[in-house]
Every structure is written in C-alpha cells, then in structure tokens.
Amino acid sequence: MTDYAVFSDVHANHTALQACIDVAMGKGITNFVLLGDFVTDCPNPQKTMELIYVLKQYFKTYIVRGNREEYLLNYRKNGTGNWKKGSASGALLYTYQNLTDKDFNFFESLPNYGQFHIKGAPGFEYCHGSPTVTSELLFREKRNTKKVLTHLNEGILLHGHTHQQGAYTYRGKKAINPGAIGLPSGYGGKTQFCILHGNGKAWEEEFIQLEYNRKEIIREFKNSELMSVAPAWAAISMHTIRTGVDLNETVLLRAMRLCEQERGKVKWPDIPEKYWAIALKENYIDLHGKEIPHKEE
C-alpha cells in the first residue's frame, strides 16, 4: 500500500506547509504531489521555496505549476510590467523581488499538467486549475467541471486553485481538491491537504484539516515589507489565515467600484489605497486582518 500526500495553494505560507509536511512524514509518507501556487500573498516566499526544494531532493515528488507561477514567469519574460506598490499588485511585486533565478528556472521547468502511472496501481491526472487551463476554476456541479471529467484519461483528477477541499464524482470520474495549505477556505482557517491511499486497485482520499501556529506567520506579516507595499491585500490574507473566510475578490471588486464611481474609470492596478481602506472597513476587517466588531442590523 502506497500513500501520496497532495499539497496545493501554499501561497508562501511556509508555517502551514511545514505543519503539513510534518504530519505527512509522521504517517510515513514519502511521496508528494504538489499542485502549484507555491508563492505570492504571504511574506518571505524564499522560505517556502526552500521547503519545496528539500521535498524534491529527498522524496518522490510530482510537481506542476500554478497560475501564480505563470504570472511571475510572464512578468519576468515581458520585462518590467505594470506591477507597482499598492494593494492591487504590490504583493505580486514583493514576491517577484524576493525570488531568485533558481526559483524562476524551477518554475520554468515545471509542466502545467501531469499523468501519474506506475506499475501495479491505477493512474491519475494532476494539475492546478484544469488539465488545459492553469487558472480554470473547477467547482462541483458546474458544466465546465463535468466537461473536464468527461475527457479524463484516468479515473481521478487532482486539482487545486479553488481553495475548497472536497471531491466530486461525475459519470464515474472523480475530481479531488486537497484544499489550500496557505490560505485555506472553511474549517476555521485550519490548513488543509489530502492523502491518497492506494491498495493497488483503487485510490481512496483522506482529507486533513490541521491546526498550526498561525501566530508565527501573522508575526512575519507584521515584520515584513509586504504590509507597507500592499497594506489592504496583506490584511485580507491575514484575515483569511485567521478565519478561513476569503474576501479578497469581494474587497477588490468593491475597491474598483468605489474608484470608478468617484473617478469615472478604473484600470487595474491603479486603485488608490483610500478605496481599499473603505472596502476593508465595509467588510469589517482592520489592517491587521482582524475582524472589526459590529452590531448586527
């Protein structure tokens, strides 16, 4: 019987990643499937990359890149783009500036999609978003998810990107999302991954939700340049880590709407911080990612 730990969406939360690695190794697991979005959003991305390099060096790893790695590679390839200080793109710029040539070369070497085949076990496929589009969202019951499952070569697809842990079966094919390690959704913010248990004939998934030292990664936020480079975005990320409630899209869209209302137009990433501040406040989040107490209507 062989087990595989499946990790996705670390988003530079090395504290959570270390906790997941420790639990997997405590179970005797030496095989890892890594589904991308290793960096961006949390501080000190180099610490996450060091952990990934250790896994790759000493254990059997199957690794694909995510849309965040593609953003970074495209930015590097096209020269200095329009990322700048501010909550819209500051976290991306911060990450870019804190990575090395080794990291970019590693991202470049990764495929977007993989098929797993070993003798004596059923195969599976793995990707970040979908097998063909790194940023595609595969939510259960959605038409595009059913279409992707219909076209699978194997019976199982491991995918991330949505940050929502769970499995969905359609016409005998199963999509398994291990959940997000770094910015997990639900379960009170516990970090999440999945273990595939193999018996030679089939795979059975086990979903893990794990408490870890969130204070450590929050402390790193407060001591990093990320807080000044992308203040509202850092606050949203810390709020997700604290609560398991992801409001980044809600706050972003509201900030853009406020900007458009006052200025007549809005063009990402040129969204002044004052609009972010209002959007945060409307969602009861302070600049440390804590919830602002409010009276129920």
User: What does the pLDDT look like over 238-285, one tens digit per residue?
Assistant: 999 999 999 999 999 999 999 999 999 999 899 999 999 999 999 999
Pairing of strands 203-210, 60-63: unpaired
pLDDT in tens, 59-71: 999 999 999 999 9
* Residue 118's pLDDT band (cuts 50, 70, 90): confident
pLDDT of residue 296 exceeding 70: no
Mean pLDDT, rounded, for 286-290? 91
d(CA 102, CA 167): 35
Pairing of strands 156-158, 124-127: parallel
Strand partners, 291: 285
Mean pLDDT, rounded, for 31-35? 98
Q: How many CB atoms lie within 10 A of CB 221?
A: 19
* Residue 80's pLDDT band (cuts 50, 70, 90): low
Report pLDDT for 294: 79
Inter-axis angle of helices 90-97 and 67-77, nearest 10: 70
More confident residue, 118 or 41: 41
d(CA 212, CA 193): 13
Using the CB atoms, write b or e for 47-64: b if 16+ within 10 Å.
bbbebbeebeeeeebbbb
| Residue 126 and residue 159 in contact, taking contact as beta carbons nearer than 8 Å | yes
Using the CB atoms, write b or e for 15-43: b if 16+ within 10 Å.
bbbbbbbebbeeeebebbbbbbbbbbbbb
∠ CA 210-29-162, nearest 5°, is: 45
* Residue 41's pLDDT band (cuts 50, 70, 90): very high
Given CATH 3.30.465.10, say whether it is the number of domain 2-210. Answer: no
Mean of all residue pLDDT scores within the chain: 95
d(CA 89, CA 81): 11
C-alpha to C-alpha distances, 127 to 46, 184, 211, nearest whole angstrom: 23, 18, 26
* Residue 11's pLDDT band (cuts 50, 70, 90): very high
Q: Tell if the pTM clears 0.75, that is, is over it.
A: yes
pLDDT in tens, 128-150: 999 999 999 999 899 999 999 99
d(CA 13, CA 192): 12
* Residue 78's pLDDT band (cuts 50, 70, 90): confident
| Residue 20 and residue 181 in contact, taking contact as beta carbons nearer than 8 Å | yes
pLDDT of residue 1 exceeding 90: no
Sheet arrangement for strand 113-116 = 113-116, 124-127, 156-158, 173-177, 166-170
Report pLDDT for 107: 98
d(CA 273, CA 156): 44
Report pLDDT for 71: 95
Report pLDDT for 2: 87
